[in-house]
Amino acid sequence: MKFYNLLIKYRFWAGIASLIIGLLLQFAGLGDIWAAIIFYTLAVIAIFTHFFIGPLRLIQDPMENGDVEAVERILNSIWFPNLLFKPIRSSYYTLKGNLAMANKDFDSAEKLLKKSASIGSTLAENKGSTDVQLGMMALQKGNFKEGEKYMREALKGSLDNESQAMALLGMVQIYMNKRDIRASKDFLRRAKNCKAKNEQVVAQIKDLDKHLARVPG
The percent of residues above 70 in pLDDT, for the chain, comes to 95
Using one digit for the tens of pLDDT, what is the confidence trace for 166-208?
999 999 999 999 999 999 999 999 999 999 888 989 999 999 9
Would you state the pLDDT for residue 1?
62
Q: What is the 3-state secondary structure (H, E, C) of the chain?
A: CHHHHHHHHHHHHHHHHHHHHHHHHHHCCCCCHHHHHHHHHHHHHHHHHHHHCCCHHHHHHHHHCCCHHHHHHHHHCCCCHHHCCHHHHHHHHHHHHHHHHHCCCHHHHHHHHHHHHHHCCCCHHHHHHHHHHHHHHHHHCCCHHHHHHHHHHHHHCCCCHHHHHHHHHHHHHHHHHCCCHHHHHHHHHHHHHCCCCCHHHHHHHHHHHHHHHCCCC
Using one digit for the tens of pLDDT, what is the confidence trace for 90-140?
889 988 988 888 788 888 888 998 888 888 655 555 678 888 999 999 998
Domain ranges of the chain: 1-52
Does this model's pTM top 0.75? My answer is: no
